[in-house]
Amino acid sequence: MFNRISFHLRGRLKASGKDMTAGEPFSLIIFYSIPLLLGNIFQQMYNMVDTIIVGRLLGTALLAAVGNTGPMNFLVLGFAYGVTSGFAVITAQRFGAHDEKGLRWSVAMNIMLNVAIGVVITVLSCALTMPILRVINTPQEIIGESFTYIFIIYLGLGAMILYNASACILRAVGDSRSPLVFLIFSSLLNIVLDLVLIIFGKMGVAGAALATVISQAAAGIGSAVWIWVRYPFLRVSRKDFVWDTYFAVQHLKIGLNMAFQFSITAIGVIVLQGALNVFGAVKIAAFTAAQKVEQLVTVAAQTIGVTMANYGGQNWGANRIDRIKEGTSKSVVISLTFSVIALLMAWLLSDQLAGMFISGSQPEVLDGARTYLRICGTFFPVLFLLFIYRNVLQSIGMGFWPLMGGVFELVARIVGAAMFPHFFGYAGICLAEPAAWLLATVPLGIAYYRIMRGLNNENILAIKTKKS
């Protein structure tokens, strides 16, 4: 079927999206990544603006309350993000194969599966909010505000899924610019709503959470409308909503695999948060501020990872293993360059960057943030490589090793949370993070090179047929 596509159809799809199955890989990766990088920076602003405004206007205690929910946020939102990203891998493969009918069918399957999964995880996450807060030893003085913040975020999961699903579909067909436009708009809206609801509405952390949900809903609706208007070949109709168990399993195999990776990682982060909470609100606030800085300076890691997921998916669909190998090699060079920049920022600008989230002079909070950033910053190159190998393997349907990488991260965080604080105190909590990155990256790197050694453009069709 992949080879029975007319020249007219190929031209139509190429003119409408960004075909990454032809052209010099280095320049393709760079130009695709630039709007994606800017989009990720603005996406970071959602939580960063909440944290800055809460930390500077509402104080350290409420900053700790919001920061305490970070792992829970990652657990559920990460699962949803993994699902939407994984489903879009099939969409990218169909686009790379120039299969327009299969492309629309994949979009329709995306919609059906995302709606079903969205309802389930919204109900479960809301029901389990307070029990999880108690399990992770949330200090009594902040548990009420923590519950308020994360419960509102969970109620708005549908908005986040709508945006992520739409953005992932756009990126699957090579459009990394449109999601940026909607993120810029929603991020600015988030800032305005934060100020209005917190300062003038006196809503506290509830206002910060509500601002995030409304902003994400705006981005999601805008992206979905843009797909309909800008990309006629993605317009699904009733005939595209045909349930096929095998096709659904294809999506679920990658989507749930990526989702469970995030969830397994998040469980380890929750365990780590429980160990951190023993050190009190000041250390929680320091850890929160430092992690926000880390997310900002390492945003290029996620960017290159998403780029390679779509680049790999399209070229896998086009049976171009040679291009996947070349693109991965060049993305490693790009990522390591960015990782050195991030490392230097973490070491040289830790106080200035962490100070954005802290009200007034609080040396103890700054000291805790500095400790985290300098320990973790040293291992940023490992983190950047982790994103590349994980996403490339997922893009070609080799999801077992990325899933195992998540398991290795979980083990490292659990062991680190249990043992490191006894020897290093608070610094031991910080050290558990890079230990998890290292334990996941090494086997993923080995798996990638071993798998690629056995693949080429000639044997790929036989491998696909066997997997089917």
Per-residue pLDDT of the chain (468 residues; tens, 9 = 90+): 333 333 344 444 444 557 788 889 999 899 888 887 887 777 676 666 666 776 666 666 777 777 778 778 888 888 898 899 889 888 888 888 888 888 999 999 999 999 999 999 999 999 999 998 888 778 888 888 889 989 999 999 999 999 999 999 998 888 888 888 888 888 889 888 988 888 888 888 888 889 989 999 999 999 999 999 998 888 988 899 989 899 999 899 888 888 887 788 778 878 888 888 888 878 888 888 898 889 889 999 989 998 998 899 889 888 889 999 999 999 999 999 999 999 999 999 888 888 877 655 578 888 999 999 999 999 999 999 999 999 999 888 887 888 898 899 889 999 999 999 999 999 999 999 999 999 999 999 999 999 998 887 776 666 665 555
CB 387 within 8 A of CB 367: no
Distance CA(381)–CA(391), nearest Å, equals 16
CB 157 within 8 A of CB 125: yes
Contacts of 327 (CB under 8 A, 6+ apart): 25, 28, 29, 308, 311, 312, 315
330 φ, ψ (degrees, to nearest 5): -75, -30
44 φ, ψ (degrees, to nearest 5): -60, -30
Residue in this structure with the two tokens 């699962």, named with its chain if needed = 79
If DSSP states are collapsed to H, E and C, what string results for 174-193?
CCCCHHHHHHHHHHHHHHHH
Distance CA(400)–CA(6), nearest Å, equals 35
